[in-house]
Structure 1
Amino acid sequence: MKPTLQAVADAVGVSRSTVSNAYSRPDQLSAALRERILDAARQLGYPGPNPTARSLRRGFVGSIGVLFTSKLSYAFTDPFAVRFLAGVSGAAERHDATILLVPLPTAETEARRVVENAAVDGFCVYCVGDEQWALDVIRERGLPFVSTIARDDAGPDDRFVGIDERTAAHAVAAHVAGLGHRRVALLADTVLPDAGTGPLTLSGVHEVSNPTTHGRLAGFADAFAEVGVHWSELTILNAPGNSRAAGAAAVTTVLDRPEPPTAVLAGSDVLALGVLDALDARPAADRPSISVTGFDDIPEAAAAGLTTVRQPAEEKGRIAGELLLDPPAEPTAGHVLLPTALVVRTSTGPVPRS
């Protein structure tokens, strides 16, 4: 039978609260009495109060949760996620806190249960697709949260740290349009739930629910609309995940068209690197000349000569952690919009002549 706190109390002849104080409030006991209690606990094999239960009773866990809709390995393999989490971890260390990685199951019912049961003091909502349901569950728990999306509908007490996705995407698309490209593919991961790999038929960007993907596709489309290329003339490519392999698989579906795109604008550097992989894998004589752009400016982007949008990943994570652990006195100071920059490299060039 597993030893209990009550068994220790009976062995020493004290109350349950006295035994509990020996672990959580030692200043309330004499050194001799505390030693008697700990000695009895060791003899009985009692390990001490459950740390999670104890922390929940006192209303403080000392940990913040980071929500994302990917496998746990994503946090350790995706270059942007790694840098973002480094920033969050730095903030947690400064406040003597820990972080709990919370990958969410695909089914929303199971995902809700995960959010409801996570033993944390607050959440960083890093990458949750259509995140409104998650925010509602967190609010029901009465916990603070920080979103990494700059939300137009954020209330004065909500906290977010993000970028102007649409404006940043517009900048890189305007650069490509300025080079003369009009036959263009826009590539993103999980554009629609359960969508297959390759071209999608969408009536407009309003069909895309993921706020990050929506903002980037909208910014791309805005820039091409300004030069007379409308949504129906753009090729929308879906990748089944944010990986190089997924990006390569998606773009391969259009490379053998009689008129393949002259430019591919990807919603992330990882996907864009996959496009470059797919092009490099083809024989030189069978390789179309395609300009490629990414988004994020991960370290691998510079080595590949990738034109992209730079955003401060580690700074985003650090600020997200600080907003949770040391919230500003003025609520609107919790609305943080970070700068971005267009970085032009060799992966883009003028449209090829016919």
Structure 2
Amino acid sequence: MVALAKEHYRAYDSKLTESIKMAKEALVSVPHRITLKDLALELGVSTATISNAFNRPDQLSPALRERILGEAKRLGYRGPDAKARSLRTGRSRIIAVVLAESLTYSLNDAVASEFLSGVAEVLDAHGHTMLLLPGREHASQAPGSANIADGFIVYGLMPTLALLGDLPAQRPLVAVDFDIEGRPAVHVDNQAASRAIAHHALTTPTQRPAVINLRLTAEPCNGRVTPEHTLLPGNRTITRSRLDGFYQALEERGFTPADVPLWNVEENTFEVCSPVIEAILDLPDAERPDLLLCMSDRIALTALTLAEQRSLRVPEDLRLVGFDGIAEGQYRAPRLTTVRQDSVEKGRIAARMILGLTPAVDSLLSTELMIGESCP
């Protein structure tokens, strides 16, 4: 019996030894996961330099960054653990841009897409990610998503101010084309720019000037503005500042606000602008405006297209001006007279502020008057 027990023990011990050997071999075969410290030691640089190569490329020379990224790829290092960094620092390196419109509209609109390009340029250079929050979606979607953001850039007229109240108040916020009390704002000088382009347009005698506004009424209005409509104040929308600039130039030429009919469009798209402008251009000759002061290039370009369809000559029968300076208005004939604003730079400024790269103070950008054939 003792001999049999010893034999069983030797067999068991042999199997256990073999299992331990196999386990050790398996552990040896598992590749070591290289860490930031390992890569820094391998390259003879600091861990901060490795981190900058992935997160702050502007801090390194292109040659050094290319060398670090090349070695990281060769050794299988994928970069700092974003989740661990977020837990350690309490920062996500995500900046949320709260848009006035839907994502589809904002990405297709030339002005909004240029602005987002400027924001993205700065965020990319400093290792941050951009989160887009559409203001025209259900308001409850934004706050939950917004909680992960380190800061906020609010762009354009919000459809509801309640959405802004749901954003974390303690985090930095920059407003663009919009004013929020106690927060820095980035604008172009809309009133001065509108006054300048209207002043230019009115140097040629006109009998029936008219203004086409962009979302300027408190009540939904896609058509003629009447006394029953309430105009939004200047602190709610940049288009009020543009109207004030138009009015200044008109009054200098002897027109009163009562002399100048106003139309309003609810969205800066061809589809929404078209019915409003068609109604204007189809007025009898004696009532149809001979000068259209448009608050955006999209409105003005829609008017150009619809005027050509009706064999109205521009600028002989109808003169018109826009605002924004988008490329489309400068490539077609007749070339659009407009005000150019640098939307890309506007985005850069807002992004630099939100990252703390420049002081978070109000910024006012200049504009450029561009004279084209639509109103020479």
TM range (shorter): 0.7 to 0.9
Q: Is the 8 A contact 1:124 1:146 kept in 2?
A: yes
Deviation at 1:188, TM superposition (A): 2.2
Quote the Cα distance in structure 1 between the aligned partners of 2:276 and 2:145: 37
- What secondary structure does 1:322 align onto? helix
Q: Name the Cα RMSD after superposition.
A: 3.0
Matched, 1:190 2:205: no
* CA shift for structure 1 position 76: 1.7
Counterpart CA distance in 1 for 2:367 and 2:128 is 29
Residue of structure 1 in register with 2:226 after alignment: 201
Which has the bigger relative contact order, CA under 8 A and spacing at least 6?
1
Match of 2:326? 298
CA 1:260–1:227 in structure 2 vs 1: closer, same or farther (change >3 Å)? same
Structure 2 distance, partners of 1:203, 1:234, is 16
Q: What displacement does 1:127 show?
A: 1.4
Preserved CA contact (<8 Å) 2:219 2:229: no
Displacement of 1:249: 2.1
Report deviation, 1:148: 1.2
Aligned with residue 256 of structure 1, among 265, 275, 282: 282
Q: Secondary structure of 1:238's match?
A: strand
Q: Is the 8 A contact 1:62 1:120 kept in 2?
A: yes
Which amino acid counterpart does residue 259 of structure 2 have in structure 1?
E
Report the Cα offset of residue 257 of structure 1: 2.0
- The count of aligned residue pairs is 293
| CA pair 212-112 structure 1, distance change in 2 beyond 3 A | farther
Distance 1:91 1:198, change over 3 A: same
Q: Which residue of 2 aligns with 1:166?
A: 191
Q: CA deviation at 1:195?
A: 2.5
The equivalent of 2:239 in structure 1 is: 213
Q: Is the 8 A contact 2:265 2:276 kept in 1?
A: yes
Are the counterparts in 1 of residues 218 and 232 from structure 2 also a CA contact under 8 Å?
no
Q: CA deviation at 1:141?
A: 2.7
2:150 to 121, 130, 133: 121
SS in 2 for 1:111: coil
Larger Rg belongs to: 2
Deviation per CA, 1:298-340: give whole Å up to 9, x if none: 1111113000001111111111111111243x55xx2211111
TM-score by length of 1: 0.74
- The reply to whether residue 320 of structure 1 matches residue 345 of structure 2 is no
Question: Kindly tell me: are residues 185 and 294 of structure 1, through their superposed partners in 2, closer, same or farther at Cα, counting changes over 3 Å?
Answer: same
Letter in 2 for 1:217: L
The reply on whether 1:175 has 2:200 as its aligned counterpart is: yes
Tell me if 1:335 matches 2:362: yes
Q: Cα 1:196–1:322, aligned 2, differ >3 Å: closer, same or farther?
A: same
Match of 1:310 among 328, 340, 344: 340
Assess, with a 3 A threshold, how the Cα gap between structure 1 residues 235 and 288 changes in structure 2: closer, same or farther.
farther
Shift of residue 236, structure 1, vs aligned partner: 1.0
| % identity of equivalent residues | 30
Cα distance change of structure 1 residues 281 and 164 upon mapping to structure 2, 3 Å threshold: same
Structure 1: runs of 5+ lacking an equivalent: 1-22, 28-49, 350-354
Identify unmatched segments of 5+ residues in structure 2: 1-32, 38-80
**Amino acid of the structure 1 residue aligned with 2:177:** I
Q: What is the rounded CA distance, in whole Å, between the counterparts of 2:159 and 2:348 in structure 1?
A: 23
- Taking the aligned partners of 1:192 and 1:58, their CA distance within structure 2 comes to 45
TM-score (norm 2): 0.70
| Residue in structure 2 matching 1:278, options 276, 295, 306 | 306
Q: Does 1:72 align with 2:99?
A: no
- Asked if 1:236 corresponds to 2:279, the answer is no
User: Which AA in structure 2 matches 1:200?
Assistant: V
